[in-house]
Each structure stands twice: as C-alpha cells, then as structure tokens.
Amino acid sequence: MTDTHCPYCALQCAQKLGGDPIAAEPRAFPTNVGGMCQKGWTSAELLRAQDRITTPLRRTPTGFEPVGWDEALDDIAARVHAIQETDGPDGVAVFGGGGLTNEKAYQLGKFARLALRTRLIDYNGRFCMSSAAAAANRTLGVDRGLPFPLTDLNDAQVVMLFGSNLADTMPPAVQHLGGVRERGGLIVVDPRLSATAKLTEDGAGEHVQLVPGTDLVFLLGLLHIVHAESLVDADYLAARVDGVDAVRRSVAEWWPERVAATTGVAETQLRRIARTLADASPHRGGAGAFLLTGRGSEQHVDGTDTVTAVINLALSLGLVGAERGGYGAITGQGNGQGGREHGQKSDQLPGYRMIADPAAREHVAGVWGVDPEVIPGPGVPAIELLMSLGMPDGPRALFVHGSNVLVSAPDADAIRRRIESLDLVVVCDFIPSETAMLADYILPVTQWAEEEGTMTGLEGRVLRRRKAVEAPSGVRSELEIFSALAARLDAPGVWATEPREVYDELRRASAGGRADYAGISYDRLDAGEALYWPCPSEDHPGTPRLFADSFPTPSGRAKMIAVRPVGPADALRSEAPVWLVTGRVLQHYQSGAQTRRVTKLNESMPRAYVEIHPMLADRIGVEGIDDIRITSKRGSMVAQARISPDIRPDTVFVPFHFADEGMVNAVTNAATDPVSGMPEFKVCAVQIRRAEA
C-alpha cells in the first residue's frame, strides 16, 4: 500500500492506495481523522476511466485522430511561433488549475513567462479563493487559507461559517465541529438550510438564512453592534490594529433595524449573534471563536469587501492571532493554496511575490538564470483573460492545464464562443472533458496516483503526493511537456522533469517570500514532519499558527478597512424575479469532469436539480417530477425540480457540476469583484418556469 492523499478537495484526506484492482482506503491524519467521503473512497476508479486518453489527439475536419508526441509538439511550437510573430508574446494565453501539484503549478508559471514569454496567465483559483486572498493580503499582510491548524476548531466556544457547506464539500472536516456543536456554538450563514446548516439543529447552534447577496450588510450590522455596545477588545485594537476609527464611523449607519430590513435577519438574532461572538472571545473570558468564510460569501462583486468585513469583525474581537480564535478561509480545490502561491496568478511570482516588485523579479530571475527584464509584467484576471480570447487585440492561442473551464466559468456560452474563435487550443488532460473537446490538441497527462509531488492543504501544510501505479504507456507528465516545448521554443533556463528537482528550484524561488518553502524538503516531508509555511530553513519547525506576535505588514500591525455594500450586479426585476444561487453536492467535485466518470457517484447524482421552495413551485405550477427551465440575460439551463422547504421562497439552488442542458454556468453572471477579479457566481436574477415537455 502507498501512503498518499485524495485527489479532490483541499482537506487532502490521507489515504492508502493498493490492491488488485487498486483501491483507496483512509488512513489517520489530523485533517480527516481517519475518515474519507464517498469521493475519496471511489477515487481509484478514476485510474480505470474507460475514456482515458493515452495518446496525443489532433483535431481534424472529421474529429480527433491519434498523433505522435514529436509531431504534436513540433506543430504546437511552430504554430505558437507563427502567432507570436504577428501578434507578439501576448498572442498566447495560459489557463491553469488549482488541482496541479506545487511542482506543476510552479513550472507552468515559469513556462508561460520564459518559454511563451506571455504575461497572460491566470487560473481557476480565481473562481475559488481570490476574494479571500485579496482581503487577507490587504488587512493581515498575507494570504493563507487557515492561519491555524484545522484541529484548533475542536475546543472553540463558537465557530461561525459564512457561506460554507462543509458537510457536503468536506464531510470529514465536520468531525472538528463536534465540540462546538455540543456547546451550542455553531453558527451557519446561508440562504439555504444546507446539510451544514442542519448541524445547528437541536440546540447545536443557529442558522442565519439571509437574503442572497446581503452577506456584507449582515456583517456591517454585527460590527455596528460590537462597536456600539463596547464589545470590542480595546487593548488588542490599540496595540495591534490600524484603521479602527474609520471602520467604527462607517458601521454607525448600519443599525440593526436597517440591516434586518435588507437581509431578512431578525434584529433579535443579529444582536444575539454579536453578543455570542463577543462572549466567546478571549478578552471577555470566553473559550474562543473562529470566523470562517467559504465561497458563498466570497463569490460576489463585493466579495473582497465581505471578507474584509469578516476580518474587521475578527480583529474587533481580538481573535486574529489569539490562542483561542481566529479568522480563516476554507480553501476549496485540492491545491488551491499552493496553486496560487507559486506563479499561476496573473500578478504573482513564486513564493507569493508580486510580479511588479523589482526586488521580487530580481530574486526569481536569479533562480531562473535570466535577466529580470525577460520576465513579463502583470497579466489580467481570469474572466478578463477568457473574455479577451479571439478578440481583435486578444490572444489567438490558449493552453489549458488542470481546468475544465467551459463548465466551471460563468456565462459559459460566451466562454465557448471565445474558445471556438481561437487559432490554437492545447489542452492537457487525462479525459476528454468538455473543454478538451474544443481543443486542436489534447495532450494526455498523468493522474495523481501516477506521479510524485507536493500539495498544500487548506491549513498551509505541505503534503507529499506519492506515486502508487504506473501511468499507461504513451502518457507524459506535464513537467515533461513543459520541458519538451521549452526546448522547441528556445526558452532560457533549466527545465527539469523530475518533481524533486523542480520542487527544489521552487524552494529557492520562494525563499524570503511570504510563502517561503525554503526549509520544506522532500526528505523532511518523507520523514513525517508536519511542516507549514513559512519555513525559511531546514532547521526551522514551520509555522502552524500565524500572527501570534505581529502581522507581516510594513508596520507589523493589521489594517482594518472600511467597506460599503454594492449589492448584486444582476438585480431582481419583473422578468427575472427569483434569486439563483449555486454550489456543490456531496457526490461531485468542481466541474464534475472526474466524478461524473465514477459509476457509483454518477448513479447517485446523475443530473443537475433545482432546489425550490414549495410556495414558489406551486406558483409556477411545478411538481417534484417536473423539469424547470432557468433563464437569465446570458442563457438558460434545464434540471429536475427538487421541492424543499430548506430554501427561501425567493431563491432557487442549482449545483454547478454538470454540463450540457444542466450547466448552470450558462446562466451565471461574469460580473467580477473589482479588487479580486472573482466572478459573481453566487447570486443572479433569473426567470423560472416549467420546462416544455
């Protein structure tokens, strides 16, 4: 049996792989405590996918045909050269993924900037963590999903989840909420009575079922009460935080009655929650409180400001850096944390260095063996990049790695048109995903159990991914593909193909950065050390908890920032009178490209559904067996009704894992947060009606 980790979410449940046929079973580890969800239990079936791609495929007028590796790579390089001769380096764009190992994410950023010489690279983590990252960077000085181990939640008096459905997305993590539920301190903010919200029943806590898109108003109401009733940790604020007065003044206008009218949250509940949080805070003798955000509160046009308000609340109560409390963002994708630290984001270099910083460019250029001027400047966020594809001044070619962007991006029909307009699309994948089927070349790559590498879990802990099986003949790792194309494109620098060599280069490139991996070696990880970044040297123990003494800002102090709500970009109106919210289900993951190929998971949840309140269903004449058509300004989709009192009467919910007629991202809005570039997946106005037979 081989010790490794699950290929799915950022909880990175520890598992063993082995047997004939190969199967997965859980093993003890702090995050999953020996548990594993049904996706993890069935993960080995991916290794036997019936439509596995094992040879490069080239598009022809009649479909795809097999082609040799050298022929494929020669033609791709020649076409890249031709496009860049007429359009310049930015004629080619790159789109990465939060599931790539640290080694592949690092090498992809390097490949884009040195081999393709393009500044146009971004990744699907822009759809996942970007608002939380932007908020944490500007207030706390660093972005690490959880700046404390997940196990710290066990002893808390209060845990408040903003827009996170852990019970469906990361079921083993629910074990860490057992203690707080026993103490009646779990608070879940969600327009739905989700599986996680149901954990608050029977005295375990409370559910806040607010109007979609009003998360920030709700938070400003909590801040108003905390400051107006002098519930803040005044000593902590004086010693460690700037910007307090501006925030105190800004929340004065959000009195409870006004907040209740906007959010649908009763004034009494608002006051009760504010006081509950204060009573749990260490400065008032409480056992500790944690405020955690998920995509539900982040995927809005004011998502960065919403997370900023959560951090303002945590700072006001003296929680950030406390032994018994804190703020954190629950990372979604398997390597959502590491994937954004080492060069896939449009404005970043390895180690969470900013690409516009001359010192950062000089350091990384030294590791790469190039002049700093060779490294392009900042690119643009994912949605701006995708919407520019094929436009008069936009890229004419696209490389896609570790992402099924056609299903996962908002306004998906527009994204399809943009991809179809390109002269060259190269997709690296192991299955024919919806995006791969639009490619000119599909290059078959290794899966998680067929490769070595590292991942960084939701706590900032670096984990070893180990090879358990041989890849099918004809399949290559992306590190080999980067190296082969870099040679054909006359790229400078060294292009190692062994993960350990690439990782050691990553360590050097990250040294001294905010996400410093310099001291986290394969040898230390293989010896079983629990190593959290920053870890600047091999005799450093790593940093499981951040902010205990200071913040990584120029002043060493956190910065509270006053924010104001702007509301959803797509408001309710007569022709679209219902809110649509999206999210995940237990059986599937992300775009569903992997889990829809696992028989047990697909049989359990074979198609999309629309969760709809009985009152709304009755109003449009829908029964439980009927299909519903949902239409927005951008497109429409169809799914079966699931009538439930667990959702607000003004709202419908659809999971986003499905393609074809059930693809909800054909409906969602591509409007973005101006700070983070995060699309507003979580709320838009729609028309709903019974689908025609």
How confident is the model over 644-682, as pLDDT tens digits?
999 999 999 999 999 999 999 999 999 999 999 999 999
What average pLDDT score do residues 31-42 get?
96
Q: Start-end ranges of CATH 3.40.50.740 in the chain?
A: 57-125+335-455+473-497
Distance CA 311, CA 131 (A): 12
Q: DSSP state, 14? A: E
Q: How confident is the model at residue 454 (pLDDT cuts 50, 70, 90)?
A: very high
pLDDT on residue 455: 97
**Using one digit for the tens of pLDDT, what is the confidence trace for 134-176?**
999 999 999 999 999 999 999 999 999 999 999 999 999 999 9
- Of 379, 393, 377, 386, residue with least CA distance to 407: 386
Q: How confident is the model at residue 625 (pLDDT cuts 50, 70, 90)?
A: confident
pLDDT on residue 42: 97
For residue 5, what are its two tokens?
Answer: 């980790």
Q: Start-end ranges of CATH 3.40.228.10 in the chain?
A: 130-330
Any idea which architecture 130-330 has in CATH? 3-Layer(aba) Sandwich (3.40)
For the cut 60, the answer to whether the pLDDT of residue 87 exceeds it is yes
The CB-side HSE value for 506 (13 A sphere, CA atoms) comes to: 31
Distance CA 370, CA 375 (A): 8
pLDDT on residue 129: 87
As a residue count, the chain comes to 693
Distance CA 424, CA 83 (A): 9
Q: Chain-centre distance of CA 36, in angstroms?
A: 20
Q: How confident is the model at residue 332 (pLDDT cuts 50, 70, 90)?
A: confident
The CB-side HSE value for 165 (13 A sphere, CA atoms) comes to: 17
What average pLDDT score do residues 392-407 get?
97
For residue 489, what are its two tokens?
Answer: 């494109």
pLDDT on residue 692: 81
pLDDT on residue 475: 98
Q: DSSP state, 210? A: P
What percent of the chain is predicted at pLDDT more than 90?
98
Give the 3-state DSSP-derived string for 272-286, with helices as H, strands as E and coil as C. HHHHHHHHHCHHHCC
For the chain, the first-to-last Cα distance in angstroms comes to: 51
pLDDT on residue 191: 97
For the cut 70, the answer to whether the pLDDT of residue 693 exceeds it is no
**Using one digit for the tens of pLDDT, what is the confidence trace for 490-522?**
999 999 999 999 999 999 999 999 999 999 999
Coil, helix or strand at residue 543: coil
Residue 600, H or E segment: helix 599-604
What average pLDDT score do residues 238-265 get?
98
The CB-side HSE value for 568 (13 A sphere, CA atoms) comes to: 26
CB atoms within 10 A of CB 633: 14
For residue 370, what are its two tokens?
Answer: 């190039």
- Of 47, 14, 55, residue with least CA distance to 594: 47
The CATH number fitting domain 2-48, selected from 3.90.600.10, 3.10.310.30, 3.40.50.2300, 2.20.25.90: 2.20.25.90
**Using one digit for the tens of pLDDT, what is the confidence trace for 365-383?**
999 999 999 999 999 999 9
pLDDT on residue 624: 85
**Using one digit for the tens of pLDDT, what is the confidence trace for 309-328?**
999 999 999 999 998 999 99
Q: CB-based contacts of 261: which residues, under 8 Å, 6+ apart? A: none
pLDDT on residue 598: 95
pLDDT on residue 407: 96
For the cut 80, the answer to whether the pLDDT of residue 478 exceeds it is yes
Burial letters 345-364, b for 16+ CB under 10 A, else e = bbbbbbbbbbbeeeebbebb
What average pLDDT score do residues 591-597 get?
94
For the cut 90, the answer to whether the pLDDT of residue 463 exceeds it is yes
Any idea which architecture 578-690 has in CATH? Beta Barrel (2.40)
Q: Start-end ranges of CATH 2.40.40.20 in the chain?
A: 578-690
Contact 146, 336 (CB under 8 A): no
Coil, helix or strand at residue 689: strand
Biggest CA pair distance of the chain: 71
pLDDT on residue 228: 98
Q: Start-end ranges of CATH 2.20.25.90 in the chain?
A: 2-48
* CATH placement of domain 57-125+335-455+473-497: 3.40.50.740
What average pLDDT score do residues 75-102 get?
97
Q: CB-based contacts of 490: which residues, under 8 Å, 6+ apart? A: none
